[in-house]
Structure formats: C-alpha cells, structure tokens
Amino acid sequence: MATPNMQVQFDNLFWLFTYLAIAVSVVVFGLMAAFIIRYREKPGSPEPHDAPILGRLPAHRGHARTAIMTVCLSSIILGVLVIGSFGSIDTILSSPAPCSIPIYGYGSYNCSVLVTGHRFYWDFNYAGYPNRTITGTPLCQQPNCLLAVPVGYDIRLNVTSADVFHNFGIIAFKIKADAYPGHINDIWFNADAPGNYTIQCYELCGVNHDAMIATLDVMPLTQFVSWYNGTIVH
C-alpha cells in the first residue's frame, strides 16, 4: 500500500487526538467514580454544612488552586493539539522542491503535473511538454485517463479547471484539492509502493459527475522512464 504525505499526517493527527481523549476520559471518569463512591450518601449521614438551603446564600466553595490547576492542564492539552495540527498543516501545504529524473536524450522530468478538470474528464499535463497532455474524451477509462508517477518521489499536482467547479481526489491517499477556473491549488504526495488507485471528482459538476474517473498508476522508476519516453516525449 502506497502511503502519501497527507495520509500520514491525518493518521498522526487522528491518533494524537484519540490518545489524548482516552487519557482525559480515564482521568475524568476515574475521579468521578472515586468521588461517587467516597462521598455517596450513607444512612445517618449529616447534612453537609454547605448544602443549599432555600432563602440562604450559598457558602463560598472551591479553591483558587483547583481553578488554576484546571486551567493549566487544559492549556497544556490544547497546546499539544494546536501545535500538532499546525505542524501537519505546514507539512501538507509546503510543496517540496522539484525533483530531477533523467530522461535519456531529453533532459529531465521535475515531478510536476498540471491537472485540469473538464466536464467530465481530467487532463494530465507533464511539466516541460505543454503539447503532450494525457487526456481523453468524456467518460474516458484507462489507459486514456492515466496519471503515471514513479514510486518514491515527491509528486506535485497543480490542480485547476477549464469550466466549472470540480474537486480532484485520490481517496486511498487522502488527498483532495478544489479545481476551479482561473486558480491553481497545489497538493503533493509521495507513494512508497507501486499500484493502481482511483482518481475521482468529489464536487457535483453535472449529469455525468459520477463517471469522472481516472487512474493513478504508481510504477517503478525504470518503468516510469520507459513510459515517459514512449508516451510524453514521443
């Protein structure tokens, strides 16, 4: 299973929130159970001196130390969640530097792809060859709608649209980006194993929205260079 950067970040955030929630729940419910057992009413128990009585102002209760401790602990927990969240967001939004894959006789490929949404298909334009776009007609299936990338490289996708609003997504990798005219959204991923994954549009864009499907083919480097030479360069 290939693992992209977003999937790792989302998984890390999920488990961070989950572990903290479990820890807080254990402490809160443990203390609640202990207090219920310790301070439960027993036969012959006297009325507490600070029990509320109609017509009398309640006595002062609580301690400043307890309030300060509660605020400090809550701030620490929230601080961990905020720092973890912003760290993940920074990683997701920070596109990596261009790579350089030598293409024999034709320079190199920089691991960038311009993804353009149409009703109802995707164009994949590989940087450096503006007239070599992998495209298909509406309702196209592989190999016409194929996004090929090498395994183990940081792949940058520049997502836009030629007509209406779309949303480019590879749900197995947990990566999605809005595609709308006149603007480019950048996302990136690094797949660590070969395989085929479904690309879909996740924004209702018309009557054939459900058929706006393509295939991500993650392949070994040598196979990708051969495919690139035969499909993009020539």
What's the pLDDT tens digit per position in 130-151?
444 454 444 444 445 678 899 9
The pTM of this model reads 0.69
Q: What is the pLDDT of residue 106?
A: 67
Torsions phi, psi of 26, nearest 5?
A: -60, -45
End-to-end CA distance of the chain: 31
Q: How does DSSP classify residue 229?
A: I
| Contact present, 147 and 214 (Cβ < 8 Å) | yes
Q: How does DSSP classify residue 210?
A: G
Q: What is the pLDDT of residue 161?
A: 93
Q: What is the pLDDT of residue 168?
A: 94
**What is the signed CA dihedral for 43, 44, 45, 50, rounded to 10 degrees?**
130
H/E stretch holding 34: helix 5-38
Q: What is the pLDDT of residue 1?
A: 46
Query: Residue 172: which residues within 8 A CB-CB, separation 6 or more?
Result: 2, 197, 198
State the amino acid at position 187 in one-letter form. I
Q: What is the pLDDT of residue 4?
A: 56
Identify the segments of the chain with pLDDT beneath 70. Answer: 1-6, 58-59, 61-62, 105-106, 127-145, 233-234
State the amino acid at position 205 in one-letter form. C
Class of the CATH domain delimited by 101-233: mainly beta
Q: What is the pLDDT of residue 152?
A: 87
Domain extent listing, the chain: 5-41+62-93, 101-233
- Return the ∠ at Cα 221 (arms to 220 and 225), rounded to 5°: 120
In angstroms, rounded to a whole number, what is the distance separating the alpha carbons of residues 196 and 194?
7
Q: What is the pLDDT of residue 32?
A: 92
| Contact present, 156 and 188 (Cβ < 8 Å) | yes
